[in-house]
Amino acid sequence: MHAGNIELNKIHDYLWEIPKHDGMNVPGRIYTSRKMIETSLQNDEAVKQVINVAHLPGIQKYSLAMPDIHWGYGFPIGGVAATDINDGVISPGGVGYDINCGVRLASTSLRYEKISRHVKRLVENLFRNVPTGVGASGAIHKLNQKELKNILHRGSHWAVENNFGTDEDIINTEENGKLDGADPSSVSERALERGLDQAGTLGSGNHFLELDVVEEIYNQRAADVMGLFIGQVVVMIHTGSRGLGYQICDDYLKVLINAEKKYGYKLPDRQLTCAPVKSEEGQDYLSAMKCAANFAWNNRQVIMHLAKNSIKSTLGIPEAELQFKLIYDVCHNIAKIEEHEIDGEVKQLCVHRKGATRAFPPEDKNIPALYRSIGQPVLIPGDMGRYSFIAVGTDTAMRETFGSSCHGAGRVKSRHQALKSAKGRNLIEELAGQGLTIQAKGHKTIAEEMPQAYKDVSEVVEVMHKSGISTKVAKLKPFGVIKG
């Protein structure tokens, strides 16, 4: 089987390997189906990036890609790579510009059939109360630098301490909403400036706040643990570290380009610029990246609180009746130091997940006690016109993918191509015909994020399910969306 000009050897129906060749330190592996190879991987730029990543110093086992793979900066989006922290590197291209872009899912006691007549007002009020779009600000008072640095250090703990959530929210957030070792002194003044008034803001592009209804349940036991039922209204939030994270990435790409020359690395793509994990440059980037990750967790925590209050006020119901609870929060643009078994030896690795979600198995000590009987929740948003999914991590993921799964649908059209194909169409009316109420800053965002710009997320999720990497729990259907 070929993706463009690149040969893929079949391991099984949902896993394909690129043999190690021409300077690759490890093979490349792509989780996908024959159909998806034929329909979305024939332009092989993203597959070339899988090969390029396999050249990284200290990379372990495989350069991996999930079924939502598409072209990105340096690494493909959907890419996973783990490097040994002693002789391996850290690469900003393996994290991306939107550091700790992630997904948060909250449940309610509401049944869709009971609130369906209020959907338009709910969407309008959410759009009014949650700042969205490029340069969005004003969710909370403008922070001073001391407060902002506290957020960079403490993550979503800052939000909870300032009455934007509860201790239970912290428990049900990946890494408890805070990466240790985040030192704000590693963050530039320009990045700090950009973050001062963006806490609790949604941003633009593919970021969204979505009202969903639980449409189908595949694993009743896991659904019960998560508190899910058919017809239930849940809230999904997708955003990241905003301008602050973008600036940190931009700043450190310049630093690490010089470091690459210093350490004598010769890589096939300049966008893979990197430094040894334990070098001064590598540690500074890791610290700044952790600051951005903490900002993003705080961001989603504040947005969730704003959403809860907006739903309460719109429907005129008390908190006890709404029963608004965080199910889980996952990040999908990050590098983390984790322990994994390599050839029978437990090693500390720097695991890059870019457009990939952590998917740790049952009984893992790093996931909340509530979920240790079923595995870590994996949240997989699709496009706004179709559906999203909830899954759980598995032992197979831990063995094969460093405990990683897919993060979404994956683009098949660039934003420019989507704009072109949306010309002359009333997408708001089209989506309304599919039962979706949407509010956004403008037509351009809706056009760029049109459903046809993405793969069918059910095919992506099925590859992960059939591979045993993350198994399906429930399908969600969107009925209300706000976007920048």
Query: Mean per-residue pLDDT for 402-413?
Result: 86
* CB neighbour class for 271 (10 Å; exposed up to 12, middle 13-18, buried from 19): middle
Q: How confident is the model at residue 429 (pLDDT cuts 50, 70, 90)?
A: confident
40 pLDDT band, cuts 50/70/90, is confident
Token pair of 325 as six digits: 């609870």
Q: What does the alpha-carbon distance between residue 79 and residue 65 come to, in Å, rounded to a whole number?
A: 4
Q: Looking at per-residue confidence, does 200 or 324 come out higher?
A: 324
pLDDT at 269 over 70: yes
Q: Are 333 and 295 in contact (CB under 8 A)?
A: no
Active-site residue, 70 included:
no
Contact 392, 376 (CB under 8 A): yes
**Candidates 3.40.50.720, 3.30.530.20, 2.40.50.140, 3.90.1860.10; CATH matching 2-483:** 3.90.1860.10
Q: Predicted confidence band at 134 (pLDDT cuts at 50, 70, 90)?
A: low
Lowest mean pLDDT among 10-19, 38-47, 134-143, 215-224: 134-143
DSSP 144: P
Quote the DSSP letter at residue 439: E
- Give residue-wise pLDDT tens across range 356-379: 999 999 999 999 999 999 999 999
When the pLDDT of each residue in the chain is averaged and rounded to a whole number, the result is 93
**Percent of the chain clearing pLDDT 90 (strictly above):** 79
Q: Indicate the pLDDT class of residue 107, thresholds 50, 70 and 90.
A: very high
Cα separation, 133 vs 213, whole angstroms:
25
Q: Specify the pairing of strand 470-483 against strand 437-440.
A: parallel
What predicted TM-score, i.e. pTM, was given to this entire model? 0.95
Q: Is the pLDDT of residue 408 over 80?
A: yes
Q: How far apart are the first and last CA of the chain?
A: 40
Distance, in Å, from the CA atom of 391 to the CA atom of 248, rounded to the nearest integer, reads: 31
pLDDT given for residue 424 in this prediction: 63
Q: Which of 21, 407, 443, 465 is flagged as catalytic? A: 407
Contact at 8 Å (CB) between 331 and 52?
no
